Structure 1
Amino acid sequence: MECQVEELRQQLEKQTLINQELQNHNNDLERRLQKTEKLLQELQSHYHDLEFPDQRISNEGGLVVRKSRAAVMAPEPIPEDQQEIMKTKVEKTVSETSLIVKAIQKNDFLSRLDDEQITMMVELLVAINFKPGNDVIKEGTEGDSMYIVAAGELLVSQADRNLRTLTCGDVFGELAILYNCKRTATVKAKTVVRLWFMERQMYRTIMTNKSKKKREQLMGFLKTSQTLKALNDSQLSKIIDSMEEVKYQNNDVIVREGAEGNTFYIILKGEVKVTKKLNGQEKQIRKMGKGEHFGELALIREILRTATCTAVGPVTCFSIDKEVFEETIPIEHLELHDDISSKVLEEPDAPEKTSPSSYLRLKDLIPVLYQEGRYQGEPVTLGVGGFGRVELVTTLHHGKYFAMKRVSKKHIVAKRQEEHVLFEKRILKAIKSDFIVRLHAAFKDTRYIYMIMEFCVGGEIWTKLKEVGRFDEPIAVFCTACVVEAYAYLHKKGIMYRDLKPENLMLDAKGYVKLVDFGFAKELVHGDRTYSFCGTPEYMAPEIIQNQGHDFAADFWSLGILVYELLVGSPPFSSSEPAKIYPKILDGVLKFPPYMGEGAKSLISKLCRPRPGQRLGNTKNGIKDVRHHRWFSSMNWHKLRVGQVEAPTIRLIRKGPCYINFDRFPFDQALADEEFSGWDKNL
């Protein structure tokens, strides 16, 4: 026994020595790693930019700390004689032009220039040659030129320490064309070198004159607008300051017929084709060119576009959204005038004769039957909810599919939901958004209310989420972006949705997401509160649970919950017992899985802030802050609105019978009781 104890003691001592050695080795590795990281930081600090002010580099070569006053940038006079400057144009070959353009495009600063500015730079760059050993830039001297390497090699050094080599296509000294700054490195020719260079005065003259000319041009364009003609130059100038430059490629849709109008456009470059649907055919109305504008009535009225505007080749426009415009110009200063171009684009015209609402009759709708499986021969049920069922129907003569929501009138009265049903029908009939399911017609008999809805062949997001477990980030981003667009439309019209969840999101044939079921929607004046307790427990905002009164901010809370569920597969606050869900929501502790990205965590945290006034989407900039969040950095919002984003959800949609993307439900043969109170007489 004693021998065994001694043997164990020796083994323990040996293991302790091994552990000590490993610890010493780890400490040594950590010291070496820290030393390497310190050196790397120092190198990065040196490499960052040749024009990086040296007073900003810390003694340790690590974090940048400014210990002195910022350099004063004295204003410099700018030559007015544009013609004299243009005399200095230097002809360049195709290959020289290509090299310069590529160099500009890969430079962080110069790549921000627009095409016209780049063209002017290319034309005015001058060639200069240096022999081996010649200094191009000397550390400590004042700089006034930027350079692009056309041929040869140069050596960059700082305090006699070599940093790197510059070769063909590299740009250096570029900050000197912005302001008078001291060079913080020496650049010396290693070989015979040919450079393209430009002085600061030349560059600033190009940019200033270009901006002035563009502003004068825009002012002239705005003055031709009938709606804006009463504004003075100061007010027009404010509009220009608020406008954004947007570019479109050939065949890009700028505005689509039937979409809500909220943006005014001026064409700066290119040609725009105006088309309109007539008798089911797309017919060209006219073409618009530089200086022409469209969409001005969208700045002052709630209107729908009644023509489609498409880019013919590359097009550059200046645009302003209604929301920004209203912050800039008081509406009483505007002339409410309808000119011809506005009428073509925006006056609502009569409904198309082929609209389903014009030919649909309840007696003509026939159920679609399952063609196989356990329910073969029975009518297809697309969904079952607390207030009724949704069935797939079609018509004999037109061959279109519709989703028919059938709700028991007796049940509506028993649950005191008469007003909600009437409201749902009224707003769905008025809504014209590509991100909200359309209501084509509504009928009633003694037992049911029938709502004939657009059929979304892709099925529920809920079904897809169950099938795959959780969505990849690109799919979640796309789905959420569609909801954001639906929210933007509804909130602008003073409508809260209040029932967001994957079950109420449908996929159309293109994979775009549409909001369905407006049973809990409510009209609310911005600034007011409502106190009803409604919604799906996992998605309820704290203020609803606490009966503190809620507004549109509750929708943004549920948006955060949706993002979480799409990425994880279940909501953050859940339990099999609803009573246990509410305390979790009020505690507000969000636990994120390790695989969730930082962008998603940030968005969810900002949407699910306990205080409604601090929630993203409910602060000063409204829903714009949601759109501009980094999680949506890959989303082109304009292209999404006009249906030109390729939906990543398309791969979730299965091919087969029209009902293949839906869960299957047995047919309910029981008839609801009749109801004769007459509450639905105005339906």
Structure 2
Amino acid sequence: MEVQMEELRQQLEKQTLINQELHKQNNYLERRLQEKEKLLQNGQSHYHHLEFPAQRSSNEANLEVRRSRAAVMAPEPILEEQLEIMTSKVKKTVSETSLIVKAIQKNDFLSRLDDEQITMMVELLVAIDIKPGNNVIKEGTEGDSMYIVAAGELLVSQTGQNLRTLTCGDVFGELAILYNCKRTATVKAKTMVRLWCIERNTYRTIMTNKSRKKREQLMGFLKTSRTLNTLNDRQLSKIIDSMEEVKYHNNDVIVREGEEGNTFYIILKGEVLVTKMMNGQQKQIRKMGKGEHFGELALIREILRTASCTAVGPVTCFSIDKEVFEETIPIEHLKLHDSEVSNELDVPGKTSVSSSLSLTDLIPVLYQEGRYQGEPVTLGVGGFGRVELVTTLQEGKYFAMKRVSKKHIVAKHQEEHVLFEKRILKATQSDFIVRLHFAFKDNRYIYMIMDFCVGGEIWTKLKEVGRFDEPIAVFCTACVVEAYAYLHKKGIMYRDLKPENLMLDAKGYVKLVDFGFAKELRHGDKTYSFCGTPEYMAPEIIQNQGHDFAADFWSLGILVYELLVGSPPFSSSEPAKIYPKILDGVLKFPPYMSEGAKSVISKLCRPRPGQRLGNTKNGIKDVRHHRWFSSINWQKLRVGRLEAPTIRLIRKGPCYINFDRFPFDRDLAEEEFSGWDENF
């Protein structure tokens, strides 16, 4: 008994120690998250001051406004009035709703409405009471309302002759909700009558809104198709006009692997499970939801389905078959790449990832252990989105997927910046800048599929060790100098340098990531936006004096200081106190910092932009030639042949071991259909 008690006691002590360690780790992670959030909030507090990457004339700005209004369904004053009408929903009992729905369904015109339109109409019908002998409609007058009889009797007459009697559930006056027409008969209450009524403005608003939104959705869905994305809006509109709505029940097989395909589908409602036979077993590939499509190659060639698609619960699709499609769009108008042939269902095939990857090919990598075991790996969290680790089923290649809410982009007026970021990264061919391989979008997010830098963030490594030894700081900064040289030569300012935006690849080389603040600028011009991370802002930005490429060199000096010290030279828990420190410009160096480091920081962080190292007549050559970089062979660095001292910072283990861990975000962003990302 005593032996058992002692064993239990030891187990309890051991478990207590484990719990304490876990508690410490949790506290540490929470502190890290709070630190990151604070930095993000500081950096985002001035987002509303950001201007678009390219300056516009006032006329162009007005055109931009007019284009955005054109997308709205009615002129603004009318729209506000109609929205007010639409919010005035009238609650109805179950029996009242049933009566209205039955009346709509038996009416030849109204029965064409879909379920959502009927629901909206039911909500917006208002009740009116008519006394016996009063006219509801008078022959020859203009009308603007439709009616459904809720109770009582009405007499219909024309040119003085009685035609019929209307009773509960009958519909009349429906043409008036389509256009301003004259009434062809008189309708008079025989008894006390209650009617459900809807006016033309209300009806047209709900129908127009619904139809336009649905069409915009479908247009957006079609534009994500690699086979159809070369078609213009007019051609895509023709396809939409030719598509049909089809409904499926739970477990209905929509597409069966191995069968001949002749139909293209877009999911409007519900979920579709994609499975593929592998090693004699059905392997679940993924679930597809609203807006996703499959079967596109069946429209243009004879092909067997490469996977099965099954309805999960009720599913509604928009579909078009090959025969109808061929009558709609000439085949020569399509641009088909050979690499697309084996990915008919956008599931992993045998083609090269680099030539034919689609969003549906990407599978989240899951944590294999720890508190988030089994959840998708999140590499980073920012104010504008998340970066997740994904892979491909067939090749097993890893990518970092940046996922950003479109709604949030619009709310923060960052549409132009996001488009510019994508354009820069897509065109960039530098080993010191993260490469964008693919860009996708759906109703909720834009996705950027980029290099996965297995070594993790410099910021994470810096926090792990406190501060870097000088050789590591020199090497990291040299990589940034090469990235700057590439960007500045192309007329691009970076404007968001900080350890969080520097990543280590497998060789220990540093890559610049996150180009959300980047801007094109002609040498000699200035820009006046207020952006960046407070601790890294150059004084001319704070003073609204106009800034250029010199601001990047200021932030380079701040980076060198933080790498060597562990924190930037001008910092405070209150952002408002950071700016005076920057303007004062007093640099305090710790005693362990080398003279070379002090010199390069002081020259990069000169208050006057024209005096900064890198911004004088010799340009970035002066930075390379500074004695602090004497250990760097720039030619070997550029070709990747210089041994990276950072390699010892990279831990071995699961592919995500060098990253902080974050809980998976299960909340979906709201859908966004403004169309700003049409060419994303």
Q: TM-score, normalised by structure 2?
A: 0.49
**Higher RCO, 1 or 2 (CA under 8 Å, sep at least 6)?**
2
Q: TM-score, normalised by structure 1?
A: 0.48
